[in-house]
Amino acid sequence: MLGFLVGLQIVGLVVASSSDLSDKCYFVPLPSIPPSTANRTVPWGEPTIHYANGTTCCSSLDEIRENLDTIDAQLVKLLSTRASYVREATRFKSTLADVNDPSRNQQVIQGAVDAAPSVHLPQIVAEIVYEGIINSSVLFEECIVSTTPISEVICS
């Protein structure tokens, strides 16, 4: 039984969820996770990644990790570009205290959580990743501001 089918156009794959209960894992708050010592024979269940060409993934943990490594390399590049704009934002902030704007931060995090279901991203991932992106960006911006001498600020 397919709980739902979502086409992820960016990577050209279709993800099939096989359990209506597991669908809850895509939303916050997560259901409570009861303790368990059950030991499963792996791989269990059916592949949940279906490519547009009709094949499925994955048949080994190594194959999965290769895909994750490729995605992580893309994420690192995107985060670098994002950090460039975060740095640029400091030029429009006149005091160190202006760097952290909690209401804007909350808006960005909530925006990611709200958008997550439309691209089949688990909301818990969106929430915590965005908190991490925002928190670390604040530290980076504060560092840039405090290490840029006022003389440079005036001359430019």
Ligand X SMILES: *[C@@H]1O[C@H](CO)[C@@H](O)[C@H](O)[C@H]1NC(C)=O
Which stretches of the chain bind ligand X, using CB under 6 A? Answer: 39, 51, 53, 55, 128, 131-132, 135
Q: Is 20 left (phi over 0), alpha (psi -120 to 50) or beta?
A: alpha
Nearer to ligand X, 4 or 51 (CB): 51
Q: Would you say 126 or 145 has its CB closer to ligand X?
A: 126
Which of 94, 77, 76, 84 is CA-nearest to residue 137?
A: 84
At closest approach, how far in Å is the CB of 72 from ligand X?
17
Which 8-state DSSP code applies to residue 40? P
Q: How far is the CB of 27 from ligand X (least distance, A)?
A: 19
Query: Bridge partners of 16?
Result: 5
DSSP state of 6: E
Query: How far is Cα 121 from Cα 72, in angstroms, rounded to an integer?
Result: 16
C-beta of 149: minimal distance to ligand X in Å? 28
Tokens representing 121? 């991203």
Which residue, 131 or 142, is less far from ligand X as judged by CB? 131
- Phi–psi pair at 66, nearest 5 degrees: -60, -45
Q: Give whichever of 106 and 146 is closer to ligand X, judged by the CB atom.
A: 106
Distance of closest approach, residue 39 Cβ to ligand X, in angstroms: 4
